[in-house]
């Protein structure tokens, strides 16, 4: 339970992270930057009024000399050698600017249009909180969608596991004692259903594969049995050719999970049957390379471009020729197969088969 909580909290945090960064930036902007912007606007207004006062100082005839009275209009805005200057609004979008050259009560006055002071404080103190509220709402909606998705996924998987388990248990009792192949296939399917249930118990993590010895060629034979008739239909009654590269079958003992490896072979063989076998031969090659047992599925199909091969194991990705074929699929088989291989300490890769086709290579550590 503790792991589930941590994983869910981490996912929620990642969803909320952009919103948290945006909110932190908004608060910083309001606290540190807006006051500076407001002060800068005040300085701009003061500077423009001061420019008019300088014109009066340099050219007193541009204004009218009047005695300085009391009131806001005559408020001093600052010193300007040898006297002082100031400004004040008089209404109607007009203002007075004055300059007094001495200590007497007389000043040169000029009426000018009132300089507009932009109210940045009001603008930012309203718009920024509104923007942050929108970001918070979107983050909350994202979290809600994530939780609903997790629940829907778990409900779907639980329903699938339940619906599959019932007929599989029934099949177990109807399979004859001498039908070893059917019994083994039934056990594999029950194991897959068990993996789904474990997946739900572990909060969305795949159960750790077993680390036991099994023969890689035997696992391939078991997986191939599911597609044997289909391949024979494509190849005029012939099976996929197998090559052991001069190595005894017993040497291909590997460490991992036999059921998971059979699932990898199912994905590779099923994928190859749909997209490559109709266009040319297919060959299964087993070899030993630096302490690893390597299975290579070599085909002469249409192949993939370098870009397509670089994304072949991406979840939900389907190559262009796959889409054009009109054949079904969700783009998760190869992704799942690679995840299984890496979980067992191995690898699954793809490369071009010259002059055409692809080579999928599964490598698993040999059992010492």
Tens digit of each residue's pLDDT (9 = 90 or more) over 140-196: 998 888 888 777 766 666 666 665 665 666 566 566 656 766 766 666 676 666 666
Closest among 219, 331, 340, 334 to 286, alpha carbons compared: 219
Q: How confident is the model at residue 319 (pLDDT cuts 50, 70, 90)?
A: low
Identify the pLDDT of residue 4. 46
Beta carbons of 87 and 97 less than 8 angstroms apart: yes
Binned at pLDDT 50, 70 and 90, residue 295 comes out as very high
State the maximum Cα–Cα separation within the chain, in Å, rounded to a whole number.
123
Q: Look at residues 129, 154, 147 and name the one whose alpha carbon lies nearest to residue 16.
A: 147
Pairing mode of beta strands 241-243, 282-289: parallel
Place of tokens 């940045």: 120
Q: Are strands 94-100 and 106-113 parallel, antiparallel or unpaired?
A: antiparallel
Contacts of residue 144, Cβ cutoff 8 Å, sequence gap at least 6: none
* pLDDT tens per residue across span 261-287: 988 998 899 888 888 888 888 999 999
Q: Across the chain, what does the average pLDDT equal?
A: 83
What domains are defined for the chain?
2-118 (no CATH), 134-201 (no CATH), 212-365 (3.30.565.10)
CB 338 within 8 A of CB 314: no
pLDDT per position as a tens digit, 113-132? 999 989 999 999 999 999 99
Long-range CB pairs of 53-58, under 8 A, 24+ apart, other chains included? 53/77, 53/80, 53/85, 53/86, 53/87, 53/97, 53/98, 53/99, 54/80, 55/110, 56/85, 56/97, 56/98, 56/99, 56/108, 56/109, 56/110, 57/83, 57/85, 57/99, 57/101, 57/108
């Amino acid at each position: 339970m503790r792991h589930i909580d941590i994983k869910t909290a981490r996912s929620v945090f990642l969803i909320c992270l952009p919103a948290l960064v945006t909110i932190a930036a908004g608060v910083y902007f309001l606290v540190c930057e807006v006051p500076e912007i407001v002060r800068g606007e005040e300085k701009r207004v003061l500077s423009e009024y001061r420019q008019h006062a300088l014109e009066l100082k340099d050219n007193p005839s541009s204004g009218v000399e009047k005695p300085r009275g009391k009131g806001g209009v005559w408020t001093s805005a600052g010193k300007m050698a040898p006297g002082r200057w100031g400004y004040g609004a008089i209404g109607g979008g007009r203002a007075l600017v004055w300059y007094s050259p001495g200590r007497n009560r007389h000043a040169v006055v000029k009426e000018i249009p009132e300089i507009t002071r932009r109210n940045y404080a009001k603008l930012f103190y309203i718009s920024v909180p509104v923007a942050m509220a929108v970001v918070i709402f979107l983050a909350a909606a994202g979290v809600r969608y994530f939780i609903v998705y997790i629940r829907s996924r778990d409900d779907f998987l639980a329903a699938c596991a339940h619906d599959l388990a019932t007929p599989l248990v029934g099949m177990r009792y109807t399979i004859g004692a001498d039908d070893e192949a059917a019994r083994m296939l039934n056990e594999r399917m029950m194991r897959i259903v068990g993996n789904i249930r474990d997946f739900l118990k572990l909060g969305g993590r795949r159960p750790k594969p077993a680390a036991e010895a099994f023969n890689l060629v035997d696992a391939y034979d078991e997986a191939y049995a599911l597609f044997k008739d289909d391949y024979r239909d494509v190849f005029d009654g012939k099976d996929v050719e197998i090559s052991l590269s001069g190595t005894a079958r017993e040497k291909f003992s590997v460490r991992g999970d036999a059921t998971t490896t059979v699932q990898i072979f199912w994905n590779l063989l099923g994928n190859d049957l749909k997209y490559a076998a109709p266009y040319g031969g297919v060959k299964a090659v087993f070899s030993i390379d630096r302490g690893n047992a390597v299975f290579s599925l070599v085909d002469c199909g249409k192949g993939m471009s370098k870009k397509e091969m670089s994304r072949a194991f991406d979840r939900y990705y389907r190559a262009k020729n796959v889409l054009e074929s009109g054949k079904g699929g969700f783009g998760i088989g190869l992704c799942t197969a690679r995840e299984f291989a890496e979980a067992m300490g191995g690898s699954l890769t793809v490369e071009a088969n010259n002059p055409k086709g692809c080579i999928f290579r599964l490598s698993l550590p040999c059992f010492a």
